[in-house]
Amino acid sequence: MMARFRTLARGLTGAALVMACCAPRAAAPAMVFVTPTNLIEPLVLIESRQLRGGVLKDVGEALARRMGREARFLPMPGKRVSEALNSGEADLVCYVLPGWLDGDLLWTGPVIPVAEVVAARDDAPPINRFEDLAGRRVGTVLGYRYNHLLAQPNQDLPFERFDAPDTRSNLAKLALGRMGYAIVEELPLRHYLRHNPQTKIRSVLVLRQYTTQCAQSKRSSLDFQQVQTHLAALVREGEIDRILSTYR
């Protein structure tokens, strides 16, 4: 009787070990990226409140693959991005600089290069430098901070802000003649002009070229050093450039 019991016990133990070895591991939680809705194509393509495509989706998914996770995207107005990160509602946001967000966040190295330009109507007076915008009405995006364009971050902007909810609205107002100039990123401007070739708008001045970063919430469960390492690899191996080249 005891021998039969020991045999049965060994069989049950073996079965338990097999089940433990073969049971699927729980999937790692998704990485949640904030997607500012005041960005436009080709940076983001938002339809029915969902991110459907664009540079930021491609970059987020490339990073998530490297970390063995799924990427989830949370579109929201730009003014809510800081709150979402500081509360832990989201893990990461990319295409930002430290002066653009509030709170205590973890900042990666440079990731996505940007050229910021002045777009002007064909009939607007010519400008040759940033200071030539002084006193003029200039199209800007609501919630955007432009202190990175100033010699001293605490200086006042030399021009009159004329805010629009997003870059597309900003360019549409420029096309209608509501103002003579707008500050935009070069990549969205190229995309807009490609799809609106009749528009009498052109890039007249490169204000600044810089490389944006990603910011991680301190409440995120992600290993920040791993995030840093994988993002640096995406840059070093040319993956970021390959993503951008598909939209140029």
Q: Does residue 17 surpass a pLDDT of 90?
A: no
Are residues 125 and 204 located together in one domain of the fold? yes
Domain assignment present for 24? no
2 pLDDT band (50/70/90 cuts)?
very low
Q: What is the DSSP letter of 150?
A: S
Q: Same domain, yes or no, for 101 and 219?
A: yes
Query: How long, in residues, is the chain?
Result: 248
Say what the pLDDT of residue 15 is.
47
- 151 and 233 part of one domain: no
Domain encompassing residue 200: 115-209
More confident call, 151 vs 202: 202
For the ranges 57-61, 137-141, 154-158, the lowest mean pLDDT is seen at 154-158
Identify whether residues 134 and 181 lie together within a single domain: yes
Mark whether 42 and 91 lie in a shared domain.
yes
For residue 146, tell me if it sits in a domain. yes
Residue showing tokens 């960005």: 39
Same domain, 132 and 218: no
**123, 163: one domain:** yes
Residue 20: C-alpha distances to residues 11, 16, 26, 60, 185 (Å)? 14, 6, 13, 33, 53
pLDDT score of 5: 40
Q: Which amino acid is at 16?
A: A
What is the CATH classification number for the domain harbouring 43? 3.40.190.10
pLDDT above 70: percentage of residues in the chain = 89
Structural contact between residues 182 and 141, judged by C-beta atoms closer than 8 angstroms: no
The model's pTM: 0.84
Give CA–CA dist 140/157, Å, rounded. Answer: 11
pLDDT of residue 27: 66
Residue 240 located in a structural domain: yes
What are the backbone angles phi and psi of residue 235, rounded to the nearest 5°? -70, -50
The reply to whether 25 falls in a domain is no
Same domain? For 87 and 120 the reply is: no
What is the number of structural domains in the chain?
A: 2
On whether residue 13 sits in a domain, the answer given is no
- What pLDDT digit, counting tens, does each position of 152-185 carry? 878 899 999 999 999 999 999 999 999 999 999 9
